Structure 1
C-alpha cells in the first residue's frame, strides 16, 4: 500500500469543523455503549463456557442433545465458547479504546488522541475485514466440498 503522505503536498491541511467534532463526540458515546454490550456478552459467554463444560462433564448424556457441537466433548465445548467470547471481546476492546481516545481528542483538541482513536477504528475494520474474508473462503470451500462429495441427496 502506498504512503499517502508522499502523495499529498505539505501545504494541504485538513480542517476539522465543529460539526465534525460533534459527530465524532456522538460516535464516541455510541462506541462506548456498544463496547459495554460486547463486554457483557463476552462475560456471559465466558461464564457459560464453564457452566456448559461442567454440566456436560456431570451428565455425559447431554452431548447427544447438543447436536454437532456435542461431538467435540466437554473440553471442546468450553474452548469453543471461550473462543467465541474472545471473538466478542477484541472488537469491544477496540471500540472502548476508540471511545476514550476520541472523546479526549474532541474535548481537549488533542491531535494525538484523535489519531489514536482513528487507528483503533482502522484496527476494528481490519479485524472485521479479515473475519469476512475467512468466512467467505470457508463458505466457498464448503461449497466445493459439497459439490465434490456428490452434492446434497
Structure 2
C-alpha cells in the first residue's frame, strides 16, 4: 500500500469540463472588462462628485466642503473594487492559456487567481456585514439613551 503523502494524485479534465471552463473564462473575461470600464467611470465620476458637492452651499447640515471628501471616498472605493476585478481578469486570461496549451502550471495560476478573487470578496463581505451590525448596535444604543 502506498503512502498517501508520496502518492501522486492527478485530476484529468474531460471534454465537458474543458468546455465549462472555457465558457466560464469567456464570461469572467467579459465581466472583468465591464468591471474595468465601470472602474474608470467611477474614477471620472469621483472628480465630478467632488465638484458637485463643492458647489453646494455650506449650511448647518453640511458645515464643511464635502467635495474633496467625496472625491477621496470614490477613489478609495475604486481602489478596493480594482483588486477583485484584476483577479477575475487574471483568472480568465490564464484559464484560456491553460486550456489552449494544456499547461498544469497555468491552470494552477488561473485557479489561484479565482481563489484570490473569492477570498477578497468573502473578506470584504464579512467586513461590510460587521460594519452593518456595528451601526445597528450603535443605533439601538443611541435609541435607548435618547429616551
Q: How would you bin the TM-score normalised by the shorter chain?
A: 0.7 to 0.9
Cα deviation for residue 52 of structure 1 reads 2.0
Distance of 2:64 and 2:87 partners within structure 1? 34
* Structure 2 contact 53–65 (Cα < 8 Å) conserved: no
Cα deviation for residue 36 of structure 1 reads 0.6
Q: Report the structure, 1 or 2, having the larger helix content.
A: 1
Alignment correspondent of 2:27: 30
Cα deviation for residue 121 of structure 1 reads 0.5
> Structure 1 residues 129, 75: CA separation in 2 closer, same or farther (over 3 Å shift)?
same
* Structure 1 contact 101–114 (Cα < 8 Å) conserved: yes
Match of 1:85 among 46, 67, 78: 78
Alignment correspondent of 1:97: 90
SS state at 2:143 partner: coil
Does residue 133 of structure 1 match 2:126? yes
Distance of 1:56 and 1:129 partners within structure 2? 32
Distance of 2:64 and 2:23 partners within structure 1? 46
Does residue 12 of structure 1 match 2:5? no
Alignment correspondent of 1:149: 142
> Structure 1 residues 7, 140: CA separation in 2 closer, same or farther (over 3 Å shift)?
farther
Distance of 1:135 and 1:7 partners within structure 2? 41
The unaligned stretches of length 5 or more in structure 2 are none
CA deviation string 1:46-105 (max 9, x = no partner)? 001112223433x242x77xx98x967111100111122223222111111111100000
The unaligned stretches of length 5 or more in structure 1 are 1-5
Range 107-116 or range 135-144, more displaced: 135-144
Q: TM-score, normalised by structure 1?
A: 0.82
Paired residue total: 143
